[in-house]
Amino acid sequence: MPIPRKPRKRPPTHPGVYIARGLLKDYGFTQQRLADELGVSRRTVNQLVNGRRGVTADMALRLGRLTKTSPEYWLNLQTAVDLWEAEAEAGRHLAAIKPLRRTKAA
Q: How many helices (H) and strands (E) does the chain have?
A: 5, 0
Q: How far apart are CA 53 and CA 7, in angstroms?
A: 24
pLDDT higher than threshold 70 for residue 2: no
Per CATH, domain 15-95 is 3.40.50.2300: no
DSSP E strand boundaries for the chain? none
pLDDT band at 4 (very low <50, low <70, confident <90, very high): low
pTM metric for this prediction: 0.84
The 10s digit of each residue's pLDDT in 19-55 is 999 999 999 999 999 999 999 999 999 999 999 999 9
Q: How far apart are CA 100 and CA 78, in angstroms?
A: 28
